[in-house]
A and B are shown apart, each in its own frame.
Chain A
Amino acid sequence: MSSARPMLALDDVSKRFGGLKVIDGLSFEVAASERVALIGPNGAGKTTAFNLITGAYPVDSGRVLLDGIDITALPARKRIRHGLARTFQNIRLMAHLSVIENVMITQATHSGAFTAMLQPVNLWRENRWRREALDVLAAAGLGRYADEPTGALPYGIQKQVELVRALLAKPRVLLLDEPAAGLNPAETDALRERLEMVSRSGIAIVVVEHDMHFIGAFCRRVIVLNFGCKIAECATGEVHAHPRVREAYLGSESEAFDVEAA
């Protein structure tokens, strides 16, 4: 971590569902253009952490700061305007929109809401919004799917469409929930290369991922959650030697945490 102001900071965040404490006093910081992995066994609270950061659920206590600004009380739809974009573990594309329409949804995040709504994005095919969306889709190798309905596309393609949708919001922080799940090794490598480019443009990236090869290659730093608590935070290379991490994964079915391979 640098001495500069963190781009994203969680300060003692907690969340209960019923009697269950799902996030327990979680604090961490992410600097601009940093690549951080958030890992942990199934049910550790990783997705919930993303949901709290993006405002899908309110926190019970604690604060979320974006570039030093407290966004804890901000409604979800306004957080993306502050530069917080995400993808979902269980893909959430709009079923009745084509691929390009799906990604165009976030495109006007930084324009005035009213004028944005009146932009004629579908009146004629050549317009600057379609062009912008097509360029980003093409850069992700998805150009030929632009006018396809999303439902019929392979899972891996849908995941990438979600990534493009998040990128079109021009985020400063990108939260990716299992971006490599369902991708074959070649696709995973392509994803990593794309994310490296994204990262070079200054965007901070937090990845929830079970694929330790991917994390080893992409992330410098790892934060480990177990039962909602942060049990470790260390350089990627050191995580497999961390005693509490070994303990947390011991006996869990997750062969993804193949420590030697990472």
Chain B
Amino acid sequence: MSGYLEGVLVLLAINAILAYAAFLPIVAGQLNLGIAGFVAAGAYFSAYLSNEFGVPPTVAALAAAVFAGLIGLIVSFPLLRTRGIYLALATFAFGQVVQATILNLNVVGGAAGYPVREFVGFGVIGAFALAVVAAVYLLFSTRFGISITAVSDDETAADLMGLSVRGLQTAAFTIGAAIAGLAGALYAHHFSYIEAQNYTVLFSIYIVLYVLLGGTQTIFGPLLGAAVFTLLPEFLRGSAEWRYVIFACLILALMAWRPQGAVTVDLVRRLLRNRRPEGERA
């Protein structure tokens, strides 16, 4: 595999994982603009474990997911007391706090960045990405899937129907944080160098965009969104500095054309319906 192709595939896999990190809270009705904070926490935690204690990177990455998930669980208690735009602002603030904390942590290099010794290649990262997609697919095939949708559709009715609104929201936020931590760890071990300056709110917004443009109604939306966001700028490489302008225009067009996201329940239903009669004829 060429270096360029591997680089693109790695980004694709990591972006897909990131998209699911954003997908879980979004499906629960939470706009989490602090994802970058969880990504950073996972990246630095995993790098530190492998640099300082010689923990194998795959184990360190899993530990980083647990670590980011724990942070998510803890901060969810104050954060999820807020709603809507206030939750977006509170998670944004959380991201800033994480970034500022790392900048002041000299043990992981502070503002100078942090080199990561152990390397993982596309094989491992791709396998993790597949595992995340499979896990999210399974999770959304359970009662959790319909319950979390119910909670974001109508909290009051969900509560009266016996669902634990707070428990479900906390679970979605926490699992999203854990997935974000995993993505951060994999990134750190592949690119061998991380710096806190990268984990800005813009980073979080990009990830949220993958999901919103891909579509939040099915679990395939985030995957498509991540793929388009990763691959399209590469295809537009020919047009040099204009490629981001074209890219941004395409995003606007997509938003106007499919405000519910590219992949919707309706679309999936239509595709399935068209396929079934053909299958019967065969």
Contacts and interface: CB of A to CB of B under 8 A. Distances in A.
Interface of A: 54-56, 75-78, 80-81, 86, 88, 92, 94-97, 101-102, 104-106, 108-109, 113, 116-123, 129, 149, 165, 169
Interface centre among A81, A92, A104 (most CB of B within 10 A): A92
5 closest A-B pairs by beta carbon, nearest first, are A123-B141, A92-B157, A80-B162, A94-B153, A117-B144
B162 A106 contact: yes
Contact of A77 (B141, B164, B266): B164
B162 A117 contact: no
Contact of A104 (B146, B154, B160, B265): B146
Contacts of B149: 94, 96-97, 101
Interface in B137-188: 138, 140-147, 149-150, 152-154, 156-165, 167-168
Interface of B: 138, 140-147, 149-150, 152-154, 156-165, 167-168, 217, 265-266
Given A54-B160, A102-B150, A117-B147, 7 more contacts: A77-B164, A80-B162, A81-B162, A94-B153, A119-B142, A119-B143, A121-B146
Given A77-B163, A113-B167, A108 B143 contact: yes
Contact of B162 (A92, A95, A118, A169): A169
Given A94-B149, A94-B153, A105-B150, A121 B143 contact: yes
B143 A97 contact: no
A76 B217 CA distance: 28
Interface centre among B138, B141, B157 (most CB of A within 10 A): B157
Contacts of A119: 142-143
A144 B154 CA distance: 25
15 contacts: A75-B159, A77-B161, A92-B154, A92-B156, A94-B153, A94-B158, A95-B153, A104-B143, A105-B163, A117-B142, A117-B168, A121-B142, A123-B142, A149-B266, A169-B162
B150 A116 contact: no
B216 to A, nearest CB: 9
Contact of A122 (B141, B164, B168): B141
B160 A97 contact: no
Contacts of B150: 94, 97, 102, 105
A1 B143 CA distance: 40
Given A56-B156, A76-B160, A149-B265, A122 B146 contact: yes
Contacts of A76: 159-160
Given A96-B265, A120-B141, A106 B161 contact: yes
B217 to A, nearest CB: 7
Given A97-B153, A165-B161, A118 B146 contact: no
Contacts of A101: 146, 149
B160 A77 contact: yes
Given A56-B160, A77-B165, A96 B153 contact: yes
A75 B154 CA distance: 17
A169 B144 contact: no
Contacts of B152: 96
Contact of B144 (A55, A104, A109, A118): A118
A101 B142 CA distance: 11
Given A56-B156, A105-B161, A117 B141 contact: no
A88 B147 CA distance: 19
Contacts of A54: 160
Interface centre among A78, A109, A123, A165 (most CB of B within 10 A): A123
